[in-house]
Structure 1
Amino acid sequence: GICFGMQVLNVSRGGTLIQDIVSQVQGAIEHEQGAPRDSPSHRIRLLEESRLASLAGRDGAVVNSHHHQAIETVGRDLVASAWASDGLVEALEDPRSDRFVLAVQWHPELGWERDPLSQALFSRFVSEAGQYAQTTHSQLVHARQSSG
């Protein structure tokens, strides 16, 4: 999930949101950067041994930022795997899922051409989607053969 997708994932798992960072989080850094939208605007710290840190190959990154809401409480089975310097959650993942459940607050689709982390995220997502499609297709073929 990306940006609102991360927020929806969190709420769907019983988590809550900060509705307005500026008015609710004292000392928050700027999370609604202006133009250019694809430029990195702040650093994030990555959870050691998380899927995201594994993709990044390091313990931090610099990301863009275009949101006024944020994660307040993390939803069921999710783990925060990245934080801004003000402590706001920048990524969530479900480490126990056998599926690739990873969501980020920033927009990796903006400026991906220059960002190895964005490229790694999309590459892994496409790979996981391909594996899922192949498995699902195999299961459908098997079910059809078994029923008829």
Structure 2
Amino acid sequence: MKPKIAIIANQYEFAEKVFHNHPASYVPQFYIDVINQVGGLPYLLPLTNPDDVADYVPSFDGFLLTGGQGVSPFLYGEAPLPKMGMTSLKRDTFEINLIQAVQLTNKPLLGICRGFQVLNVALGGTLYQDLSYREAPTLKHMQIPTDDTQPSHYVLQDKPSFLKHVFGDKVLVNSLHSQGIKQLAANLEAISVSTDGVIEGFQSLDAQHQFFGVEWHPEMLLGYDQRNQEIFRQLIIQATKAASA
């Protein structure tokens, strides 16, 4: 049987053009398509009561946290700074509760962009509320107006990992984030870094690397570099193992 992958949905509060000003839960089609392509069965998991995660987690074999808003600095002990963008405490709280529940299992969880950031925060790390607050020089990590299905900067893999196995020492990726990892959680290790030093990929230090993620959007890059599919295939491989354990 195909492993069941829960993709955590985002929420429009007022979707003017699509849903006639009514709230709506959604997941970009890129994520649904790639999970299906690599052999998973995608499910959309809406933002409900955070207490519901205890009932959700047993129903799925793996989890995918997607892109979207910034992560609230309240969750890592900071007050908002002027350049911080939109956040959603509702989404933050639900996803952090989910991460903590999944942590009690052997099931895998993949974080993409915002999902990568909230995973770091849930495990005890911190973020730059905006990358312009870094002391070091920073590349353009929000590539708009460049097409987001095209790459915009390099990331480097200098230690053994699945990313190095797939991409080698250096690969071009896209970039659509204003926040970034400041302090990496103690139980994570960086496995990909942009040329300006921003952490772009990590995996957990446990033997099976239960948690892993990337800062770029591999689901959007498949037309440019099909190897990005392997990031999602890694989730399916781990979910299959977890389901059979």
TM-score by length of 1: 0.82
Indicate yes or no: 2:235 matched with 1:125: yes
Aligned to 1:79: 189
The question of whether the paired residues in 2 share the 8 Å contact of 1:2 and 1:106 is answered with yes
Deviates more, 1:68-77 or 1:42-51: 42-51
The question of whether the paired residues in 2 share the 8 Å contact of 1:100 and 1:125 is answered with no
Paired residue for 1:52, among 163, 167, 186? 163
Cα distance, 1:123 vs structure 2:
1.7
Cα distance, 1:23 vs structure 2:
4.0
Task: Give the aligned residue type for 2:189.
Answer: V
Q: Deviations over 1:52-90 (max 9, x none)?
A: 21232x111110000000000110210111111111111
Aligned to 2:99: none
1-side partners of 2:122 and 2:113: how far apart? Answer: 14
Task: Give the aligned residue type for 1:67.
Answer: H
Task: Give the aligned residue type for 1:70.
Answer: G
The question of whether the paired residues in 2 share the 8 Å contact of 1:15 and 1:73 is answered with yes
Q: Deviations over 1:101-139 (max 9, x none)?
A: 21100000102133133121122222222222233xxxx
2-side partners of 1:74 and 1:124: how far apart? Answer: 22
Aligned to 2:223: 113
1-side partners of 2:175 and 2:141: how far apart? Answer: 5
Tell me the matched-pair count.
134
2-side partners of 1:99 and 1:110: how far apart? Answer: 24
More helix by proportion, 1 or 2?
Answer: 1
Indicate yes or no: 2:117 matched with 1:4: no
Structure 1: gaps (5+ residues)? 136-148
Paired residue for 1:41, among 144, 152, 167? 152
1-side partners of 2:165 and 2:204: how far apart? Answer: 14
TM-score by length of 2: 0.51
Seq. identity, %: 33
The question of whether the paired residues in 1 share the 8 Å contact of 2:150 and 2:224 is answered with no
The question of whether the paired residues in 2 share the 8 Å contact of 1:32 and 1:68 is answered with yes
2-side partners of 1:52 and 1:46: how far apart? Answer: 7
**Structure 1 vs Structure 2 CA RMSD:** 1.6
2-side partners of 1:39 and 1:48: how far apart? Answer: 26
